[in-house]
Amino acid sequence: MLSDAFRARIPGVRCLVAFTGAGMSAESGVSTFRGEDGIWQKFKPEELASFDAFIRNPSLVWEWYAHRKKVLSSVEPNPGHLALANMETLFPEVHVITQNIDNLHRRAGSQRVHELHGNLQRNYCIDCRNPVSNEGLDLDAGAPRCRQCGGLIRPDVIWFGELLPLDAWDRSIEACRRADLFLSIGTSGVVYPAATLPGISRGAGAYVVEINPEYTALSDFVDETILGKSGEILPEVVRLMKIELRK
Ligand code: OAD
């Protein structure tokens, strides 16, 4: 499954970056955004995932995120998430840069997780910025208000038109520049600026491997694509990495 070029890189890897998208969590039962059963086939992003939409109709937006919060509380990390966490035992430095907001990388045990699009576990007040966790929120009671200032509470996720969190972005760029091996996993590679990261890393010398059941917008710009599901491919990649490292 691993090409000779991929295998040859493994013993020299000091810094590995895994860049993940919704496909990473598909085998946990979390819907992707695009494709036949994708979330954006059923819902319009501009009605649910923008600050304007939230201000226009906070209860509707909350109902949607409350639903997603409930879905996420019932899913588990899959073998792909666990394989990435396992890579931390093989290489000195492993970063997971994720577009996902489902917290599954942290739950799987990954230590250096950079969340580019936020995390559905967290919320904050749009007026005083007070952070609010999911515990203590009644998910069936419409849009919650801040206990300190009465402002609207929003989920701590990035909506269309919003800037990415600067600290997570800076740490991601830094890791991409240092990476020897870059794995782009389960992302269609069409949402920017996140989709620039594989190119930045490759330009800085990393060997870039894509793992996806289909070719994507990134495929022409990577060193190789392994076609398949991340929950099946990544455990096998770990097994083969261990063999290469033992040689
Ligand atoms: P997409 O839904 O655009 O793409 C999901 C990718 O996962 C597709 O390329 C699928 O082929 C692939 N895929 C499906 N099942 C898979 C599996 N089992 N293993 C591996 N890959 C699989 O999701 P993203 O690229 O994550 O942004 O979308 C990027 C951003 O667009 C999201 O973070 C979200 C969305 O709008 C925000 O909410 C800000």
Task: Locate CATH 3.40.50.1220 in the chain.
Answer: 1-30+77-117+164-247
For residue 49, which atom of ligand 1 is closest to its CA?
38
Mean of pLDDT values over 127-152: 92
Q: Is the CB of 158 under 6 A from ligand 1?
A: yes
Number of CB atoms found within 10 A of residue 238's CB: 18
pLDDT at 219: 98
Q: Is the CB of 103 under 6 A from ligand 1?
A: no
Angle value at C-alpha 171, between 168 and 172, nearest 5 degrees: 80
CA distance 103 to 26: 14
Say whether 117 is catalytic.
yes
Contact at 8 Å (CB) between 26 and 32? yes
Contact at 8 Å (CB) between 148 and 130? yes
Band of the pLDDT at 208, cuts 50, 70, 90? Answer: very high
Q: Which of 151, 155, 119 is nearest to 137 (CA)?
A: 155
Q: Is the CB of 212 under 6 A from ligand 1?
A: yes
pLDDT tens across 28-45, in order?
A: 999 898 887 787 787 787
Mean of pLDDT values over 63-92: 95
pLDDT at 36: 78
Band of the pLDDT at 1, cuts 50, 70, 90? Answer: confident
Angle between helices 230-246 and 79-86 (to 10 degrees): 30
Q: What is the pTM of this model?
A: 0.96
pLDDT tens across 209-219, in order?
A: 999 999 999 99
Which tokens is 157 given?
A: 């996720």
CATH of span 1-30+77-117+164-247: 3.40.50.1220
Which of the listed residues 42, 191, 222, 225 should we mutate to test ligand 1's pocket, taking the one with most ligand atoms within 8 A of CB? 191
Mean of pLDDT values over 52-67: 92
Q: Which of 16-25, 27-36, 147-156 has the lowest mean pLDDT?
A: 27-36
Q: Is the CB of 33 under 6 A from ligand 1?
A: yes
Task: Locate CATH 3.30.1600.10 in the chain.
Answer: 31-74+119-157
Sheet with 153-157: strands ordered across: 131-133, 118-125, 153-157
Burial of 107 (0-12, 13-18, 19+ CB in 10 A): middle
Return the residue whose CA atom lies nearest to atom 35 of ligand 1: 33
Paired sense of beta strands 93-98 and 131-133, if any: unpaired
CA of residue 25 to ligand 1 center, whole Å: 9
Band of the pLDDT at 169, cuts 50, 70, 90? Answer: very high
Give the DSSP H/E element, type plus range, for residue 178.
Answer: helix 166-178
Higher pLDDT, 34 or 113: 113
Mean of pLDDT values over 150-159: 97
DSSP 109: T
Q: Which of 219, 220, 211, 221 is nearest to 186 (CA)?
A: 211
Q: Is the CB of 78 under 6 A from ligand 1?
A: no
Return the residue whose CA atom lies nearest to atom 15 of ligand 1: 23
Q: Which CATH class is domain 31-74+119-157?
A: alpha beta
